[in-house]
Chain A
Amino acid sequence: MVLVYSDDKKLALELLNKASELGKELHKRVIAVTIGHEEYSTEYLECGADLVIVAETSQHQFKAEEYTSILENIMKEHRNEIILIGSNKNGKELAARLAAKLDAGCVMDCTKVYVQDQKLTTERIVYSGNAIAVEQFTSLPQIVTIPSKVFDPLPKNPHHKGEIVKKKIDGEPFPSKILNVQETKSEGVNVEDAQIIVSCGRGFKKKEDIRLVNELADILKGRTVGCSRPIAADLKWLSEDHWIGLSGHKVKPKLYVACGISGQIQHIAGMRDSGVIVAINKDPEALIFKSADYGIVGDLYEILPKLTNAIKGKIS
């Protein structure tokens, strides 16, 4: 069987597409698991699942220890050869712990999953974006995590038939507990879907100066501001939803403008799939120019207002 689980419904639907494809190729049934969310079942069936297992538990919030034990329980009943898990932070700690429990292989953050020489094969970015590792499983079960937006969900097919099974499963209890869940301050930006992104880095001297990228973003139809890690993580000038890179969001707009960003490999890892890349940096040796289509060497404080004006002139 091919089993799919994510605590994020949208991501689970995306994985179901891949699972259906693998299921067809390998003649295996596709099982979707939801822990606690019966209301997702119909959509899971319509988007490719042959069986939806609704695990009912008293642990309402995601907790890796208990949720691993629930999946382990399901595994005892259904021989699952391939397990696809959504690669968000919860999914990754769950996949890894489950892999340990099952003594299974596990490959994280795969952007390609296919069968080659009758073996499940995966591709993932390694060395901070310098290379792609092609890996193959040599035994069962095989656990793969897949990030969001690698696959699209299948269009809903109300004729796709399947079964919904509800089961009360309480995972083995662990002595750790969740004390509090706090929503973090977010500006509600969605860089992952943006068509045009103007990004800022440490080349900006103070928080107020970010208005320069805002102004440019505003006249470009895209209106999205991104940033390098230090701006969000260390200086906290922007919320984390702006953060682009290896440990932030992966983006692929048609235009990416990097202002005052040095172009370290971990930043490039998040924006290398952009259509056109423009860099503004005062250092002619800055790495960012190697990853850019167009660049201007100079002070962003002088260039950005000029650029904003020139573009305004051009598009009006």
Chain B
Amino acid sequence: MNIIVCAKQVVDVAEIKVDSSTKKPILAGVPQKISDMDKNALEEAIKIKEKHSGKITVITVGNPDAKERIKELLAMGADEGVLITPPDHADYHVIAHLLVGAIRKIGTYDIILCGEASIDMFSGQMGPRIAGLLNIPQITYAQTATVEHKNVISEKNLGEKTVTIESPFPVLITMTKESNQPRLPSLMAILASSSKPIHEWPVSSVITEPLIPKVKTIDIKGIPMQRKNIIYQDDLDQSVGKLVDELAKVGVLR
């Protein structure tokens, strides 16, 4: 079984501070990590490999420092890593073509796994784009992925209903946060992973024509959140009394 996992390096959104005067997020210096659900995708890949054997390749389109993140994925259980550094101002269209270029260069694949969404952009766009470009079936928001010899069966969560889908290979699946519990690598695994290869492929080796972005980001605005921040912390009965008076005064108890 040849499995490809697409994993994105993102800023840790929980660590973002907001500039108090401009209300804009301060992105410089925020720690980077692998997007949460991409670890769910890799965990699922490892489970499939444990059952059917095979090879797991992770692909990241990201800055050169993403190499450190790929090492963590190799320690978790991926066999090889591929890193492509995109041109400036790459949008979803450009990155999807780079990922697909890399997938074609790898050549053989049965299952491509992505996260349901990346935690910085939360689009859920890249997976279906890759499936569309490769013209293969897609299963998004998968809670499960039960792989047999010729097919995979997934339960997909749509909130008000669960849809069970069967697909032959090759197929692209995006995994949810609840689908599994990503493992933490053991010290042994971390040590062993240092001999696993990470290939840094230039853009020109995966695509033939230059790509022009279709969407450009013209601003990242802050979200002003003005709240009263009145906090009661002494005697509970008094606090409750004051709160209820306030709520009545602002008219939300009517």
Contact = CB atoms under 8 A, between A and B. Distances in A.
A240 B233 contact: no
B149 interface: no
B125 A105 contact: no
B147 interface: no
Nearest to B123: A108
A129 interface: yes
Interface in B72-99: 91-93, 96
Interface in B138-188: 138-141, 153, 157-168, 171, 177-178
Interface residues of A, number: 91
A277 B227 contact: yes
B214 A104 contact: yes
Interface string A173-196: 011111111111010000000001
Contact of A255 (B215, B233, B252): B252
A314 interface: yes
Interface in B218-249: 218-223, 225, 227-233, 236-237, 239-241, 243-244, 246-248
A128 B120 contact: yes
A17 interface: no
Interface in A137-191: 137-139, 142, 174-184, 186
Interface residues of B, number: 83
B253 A315 contact: yes
B163 A180 contact: yes
Interface stretch (B12-20, B46-54, B58-66, B190-198): B12-20
A246 interface: yes
B27 to A, nearest CB: 8
A296 B240 contact: yes
Given A96-B132, A128-B119, A183 B138 contact: no
A295 interface: yes
Contacts of A272: 223, 225
A62 to B, nearest CB: 9
A146 to B, nearest CB: 14
A176 B231 contact: no
Contacts of B92: 96, 99, 105-106
A44 interface: no
A276 B252 CA distance: 8
Contacts of B1: none
A303 B238 CA distance: 11
Contacts of B215: 105-107, 135-138
A247 to B, nearest CB: 8
A11 B157 CA distance: 20
A264 interface: yes
A168 B216 CA distance: 37
B173 to A, nearest CB: 11
B13 A99 contact: no
A139 B91 CA distance: 13
Contacts of B212: 138-139
B180 to A, nearest CB: 12
Contacts of B121: 126
Contact of A65 (B14, B137, B233, B248): B137
Contacts of A95: 125
Interface of B: 11, 13-14, 16, 18, 24-25, 27, 91-93, 96, 117, 119-133, 137-141, 153, 157-168, 171, 177-178, 212-223, 225, 227-233, 236-237, 239-241, 243-244, 246-248, 250, 252-254
8 contacts: A99-B93, A99-B125, A138-B216, A180-B164, A182-B164, A184-B159, A233-B178, A298-B239
Given A131-B220, A289-B231, 9 more contacts: A131-B24, A134-B217, A134-B218, A136-B215, A180-B163, A184-B159, A265-B14, A276-B252, A295-B230
Q: Top 6 A-B pairs ranked by shortest CB distance?
A: A100-B132, A105-B214, A176-B167, A96-B128, A176-B137, A297-B233
